Structure 1
Amino acid sequence: MGHDHPPAPRAPRRLRVILAAVLIPAFLATGIATVLLWPGPVAKVKEVDPVPRFHATVTKVVTEACPPTVEGPPDPGPCGTATVRLESGQTQDTDLPTGPGAPHVEVGDKVLVTPLTDAEDPTLTVYTIADHQRGSSLLWLVAAFAAAIVAFGRWRGLAALAGLAVSFAVLLLFVLPAILGGGPPLLIAVTGSALIMFVVLYLTHGISAQTSVAVLGTLVSLVLAGAIGSLAIAMTHLTGYGDENAITLSLLHADVDLHGLLLAGIIIGSLGVLDDVTVTQAATVGELARANPALTRRELYRGGARVGRAHIASTVNTIVLAYAGASLPVLLLVIAGGRGVSEVLTAEFIAQEIVRSVVGTLGLVAAVPVTTALAAFVATAAHRPPRPPRPPRPRADRSEVLEALADPNPR
């Protein structure tokens, strides 16, 4: 793996044995739990009257004034027709989509069209534009993202992309199907998070004592976050039915434990910020020790803790704003309804986000001292100068005694 700094001194053998004795059983336990919780075939809910969608290209757009309505002013539009060419080569005329959230189309746009049966003439099929095709646009964005990461991070950036792929694979192949199959969401989330942590951290940062410190700090903080999350959910009496998506999921898959799913989401969300803090703390202490090997363990801890406090201060605001941004439409809808601030903040869908922010922050606060202390211990052990070899013991001069014993005529 590429590094932007000199390689860290190799940790003493005794320290490496201690780290391995802690982490290897944890890794084996994670692997065994993954095998035991691995999902079987998940029964898919059959769609009611599924409507097919076809890829098409807009070849012509004709706009016109919208007709007046009986209730009042004319529809703001747009009104008119669009001609689309299906992949089969067939050409169809469709009405321009209208209404809130309707896609705005222009000539050359790639769209998805849906065939519908005309209400007045069941033998007639009418095509309507349902949405834009976003596959190629998303691929270009992902390619630009990957190119920027590799250009800046080089081999480390490439390893980070591989770690991101592993995270998505664990979530899509293990965590989500296992929860959907009726497994315990909390245990599945902890197992999946631990699996992601082990693979991604070592893959991205290499196998070293410094990475092992970050893994240990993340593992301890993750367990604390799970315990705090369980307590917070119990104290606030959250049920997991905080939004329409959860209610829809409960209707389609009654076996899913939404209460446990809420806690699982908190744990997985906490992992995303915990590994950032633990890796930063371990690297910071390592760089301090490398810059000044004379620093004591306490001085390394204090220096790393100062960096950690600054990191936490900025990360707390990041977490809160991230959750607020995700809930912005709901917040606007509630405030527009004239409800009081206290009533809004204590509603379940808002209380869920508050609990997520609080649990994630407390996990970060716990991660800083734990990881910094471990990193200071490892750094001082790695930079400790070797003991000087003992000088050889002087041998007594016995030559005169031997000569006296060998003389046949002693005086």
Structure 2
Amino acid sequence: MAFPSAQTMLEPAAARLAASGDWNAEADDQLVCVAVRDETHDVKTFVFAPAAPQRFVYAPGQFLTFAFEIDGETIHRCYTISSAPTRPGAASITVKRVPGGPVSNWLHDRLRAGDIVRAVGPMGEFSCFTHPAPKYLFLSGGSGITPMMSMARTFHDLGEARDVSFVHSARTPADIIFRSELERMAQLDTAFRFVAICEDQAPGESWNGPTGRISIDALRDAVPDFLDREVFVCGPKPYMAAVRTMLANAGFDMRRHHEESFDFDELPSVEREAAVEAQQELDAPRSGRTFRVEFAKTRRVLECPEDVTVLEAARKAGLRLPSSCTKGLCGTCKSKIASGTVAMSHAGGIRQREIDAGMALLCCSKPTSDLVIDR
């Protein structure tokens, strides 16, 4: 069925469906929040669309990097797209409120439909599209469910008869994100199986499913043929580490193991771990030149060897700079180089026009002269 002409389309939704162009953050990085939806007591989904009707094109499992203006400060964060590319008129992120988290609390308390944010992307290689297989196992913990939900929604929307086993770990039944939708998908598609494992009961609900934490016995009960599947894992770092060890000890071919490694909320423990790793790296014997790096706003000065990234050197010196992926993907550590030069090897987290304007990603930039950084 053909869409009516532009002159007769009075309903804005019709215009969004008829969009012929793709959203391009290089041309316009503004997105409008069109809806906010409650998922659980501490999880919300935020739906975004371009101001002019355009389509989102991405692989399920990819993420967007947002620049949020919060109390006069620009804070960057990466969030996986929880919606599916089969519904290209809008893109959603699903965010858990983190106690003390500046971004998650701002989103939950202050972002409303009609508000405008800036974003770049999509980015990332954590996707079933980049690792095709006849059988999949999706393992998620807490809000790490979002990339797997995008993959599951994509297969479901396309009517693809994929053998997918989806095992999600939650604190209680009340904390199972997308529970009703996943259960409905399992009812409609015999090739799709959803299993939730809960650590505790929820008040007012009798949980008859698996209890405790993910274990090899629980995995074997839920997915007896897990050794034959392509595995995607996302969740808190301890969860992913436990799954990694569990699979390796069970004899799983770890070449078919894929995990999302970002810590989107930058918890202090992660910062401490990263600082320790950076210090160990920097304490190793080195040769070559060392450059002076000055942070203009904080007036901190440090020495950075030419073969060390600015972010690593800053962490050793005790500076808490915003960062997430540390791989040049997300753009969280993007900073203005007020003077000096760097050698930067990024993976898509910065645009050429930003580089031309003197911006750099500190996680993948090594000094080639003394530097002054506008932070």
Q: Which gives a bigger RCO, structure 1 or 2 (Cα 8 Å, sep 6+)?
A: 1
- Using structure 2 for the length normalisation, give the TM-score: 0.23
- Which structure dedicates a bigger proportion of its chain to helix? 1
